[in-house]
Amino acid sequence: MISDAVPAPDVQPKAKIFISYSRRDITFADRLEGALKARGFEPLIDRTEIYAFEDWWKRIQALIAQAHTVIFVLSPDSVASEVCTKEIAYAASLNKRFAPIVVRRVDDRAVPEALARLNFIFFEDEARFADGVDRLSRALATDIDWIRKHTDYGEAARHWTAAGRPGGLLLRSPAAVVSYPPADSADWFVSGFADGAEQLAGTAAVVDELVGAGRTVLFAGEPNFRAFTDGTAKLLLNAIVGPNPSPAARAAVAEPVITALPDPRPVISVVVRPADVPATESVLRDLGATWTTTSVAGGVLIAIDNPAGLEPDEHPWARQLPTKLAAVGVTPTYLAMTTTS
């Protein structure tokens, strides 16, 4: 069937920005709020968004939860403020992206831990306020699609937890290729028994999700368990040997990386987005590693030095690297561990 309907324009919602600041910096916060609005952002600021008789902390929590980024206005007063400290701690618990900006210089030792490792944008010179906002705007727009998805999932999870984690509110993925049937369906008895039908009803059983240049197939249960039907074994086989939906994309990522690798080839090499380089280098620094960086198509190649000539399985931290990168919100587009021989 051919439809002559005109598709709706792809209009992205405004990025929501929570501003955490000391009351002594309210004049600056007012000016920043107006400048961000003029550049297409939606500032969330407790001064204007909390109404009389409202539970102020619950309202602030709600504003932070729906924000894509949290701006922290650094000043001697904000780092000493209990409320500001509480806002930062709550935002960090949600893994929110921070954008620290300096309006008045503070002692480095007083900067909250969640902000100390980040790059600051300085607003100390009032004459260069517009330049500072332009730099801030570019930073806020970086990776905004990823940030929106993170915020949406975080909000859904928060509402699910607040509602007592009911099965009917479990997250559904558009990539769910197989879902469990309704609780009262006779299909539960195809394999001869049903246990936990109410909890699993309608949730995803198999998810096929594109990740970077490849794909990940997720099974809610053990697909190769001997007590299950042959149908799940076929799904597992298809996941292992089935065609890659985007081999060209995989090659497009890998080829320029392989070309850029130094000789001799490093045992561990990783490619991340430019915005993720500081966090990646922080992880490597904590592990005691040294490395070289090279710009490649689609990101930055980080080739990790191997002065002792260790194999990947001999490295004391090689297996930890993917987990440690994930913990700081970094998803590599390429990660390889190569033998020395």
3-state secondary structure of 317: coil
pLDDT digits over 225-284, tens only?
765 556 677 777 777 776 655 545 445 555 566 666 666 667 788 888 888 899 999 999
Provide the CATH number for the domain around residue 301: 3.30.70.120
**If residue 206 lies in a helix (H) or strand (E), which one and from where to where?**
strand 204-211
Q: What are phi and psi of 131, to 5 degrees?
A: -65, -40
pLDDT average, residue stretch 12-41: 89
B/e letters for 79-113, b = 16+ CB within 10 Å, e = fewer, are bebebbeebbebbeebebbbbbbbbbebeeeebbe
For residue 27, name the pLDDT band (cuts at 50, 70, 90): very high
pLDDT digits over 172-189, tens only?
444 567 777 777 777 776
Is 44 domain-assigned?
yes
Residues 34 and 136 in one domain: yes
For residue 8, name the pLDDT band (cuts at 50, 70, 90): very low
Provide the CATH number for the domain around residue 51: 3.40.50.10140
Residues 115 and 193 in one domain: no
Residues 98 and 82 in one domain: yes
Domain range for 223 is 172-241
